[in-house]
Each structure stands twice: as C-alpha cells, then as structure tokens.
Amino acid sequence: MTGNDLDVLLGAWELTGRSHTADHDDITGTLTATRLLDGGLLQLDGRMLVGNTEIHSLELIWPDDTGSGFAAHVYSGSGAPLNYRWSRRGDTIVHAGLGMTYTGTISTDGATITGTWLPDPDRPDMAEAAYDATMRRI
C-alpha cells in the first residue's frame, strides 16, 4: 500500500444512503478529504444526517506500520478517538471499525463510490446499523 491508494477520496463528496431497516433513503451528508503535513495524513471532515440524528466527524488516516493498509482515528466529539482501518485493492475500498465494515466499489471515472456498511461476522448485534451508501463527487 502506498499513501496514494486513498487519493481517490480527495475532494468534496455528497453522501446518500438507506438503512436496511428503512423503506426510503434516510441518510444524507457531505465529506471533504484533504492531505495534511506534506501529504503524510489524509483528513476526512464529514457531516451526516441519519434519520433525525446529526453526526459530525473528523477522521485522520495514515499508512500503518505493516504496509498492509491504513490506520485511522475518528473524532466525533463524544470522547476518545475511535480506531478504524482502511484498505484498497483495485476498485474496491474497505473502511472498518467498531464492529462494522464498509465495502465500496469505485466507479471507473472515480466520481462515485457505492457500497454497504455491514456488521462484522462476530457482531450480529450490529445488524440494525447496516446501511447502503453512495458517495458522489461534487
């Protein structure tokens, strides 16, 4: 993995999604990704509305020490940072943490990422948190 593997995320994005328990889209948001510290960190600044709950987050991502992906801390204003991981293989991007994993497909032109957040196999208690999400470059 190189630090450029996640450059597809750079820029501004609009997010739409649907919880697996909903019969209509119930998730909206925006995300902006920028490089910091001479490119050594990737910063994701996001806002989401899930139903009636607004979520603000700041995520810092860096290449992990093993070279097999990226480590991340997510700050949401609710205390200590949350640990997440990122990886990319071809047009597939994976974001995982807190018992959930997002697997998305990057469009050929890099303008859309479509995927699903699902509970990890050992976390069936997270099933109601599953949702489909599409990011569109704006």
Query: Quick one: tokens of 54?
Result: 């607004």
- Is a pLDDT exceeding 80 seen at residue 9? yes
Measured distance CA(123)–CA(116) in Å, rounded: 16
- Chain length of the chain: 138
pLDDT at 68: 80
Contacts of 134 (CB under 8 A, 6+ apart): 15, 16, 17, 112, 113, 114, 115
Q: Is the pLDDT of residue 2 over 70?
A: no
Q: Which pLDDT tens digit goes with each residue over 15-52?
A: 999 999 999 999 999 999 999 998 889 999 999 999 89
Least confident of 29-38, 75-84, 94-103: 75-84
Q: pLDDT tens digits, residue range 61-75? A: 999 888 789 999 999
Q: Check residue 1 and give its pLDDT.
A: 40
Average pLDDT, the chain: 93
Q: Where are the domains of the chain?
A: 3-137
pLDDT at 29: 97
Mean pLDDT of 8-21: 96
The CATH class of the 3-137 domain is mainly beta
Q: State pLDDT tens for residues 125-136.
A: 999 999 999 999
pTM of the model: 0.91
Residue 3 scores a pLDDT above 60: no
Burial of 13 (0-12, 13-18, 19+ CB in 10 A): buried
Contacts of 101 (CB under 8 A, 6+ apart): 94, 95, 117, 118, 120
Q: What percent of the chain has a predicted confidence (pLDDT) above 90?
A: 84
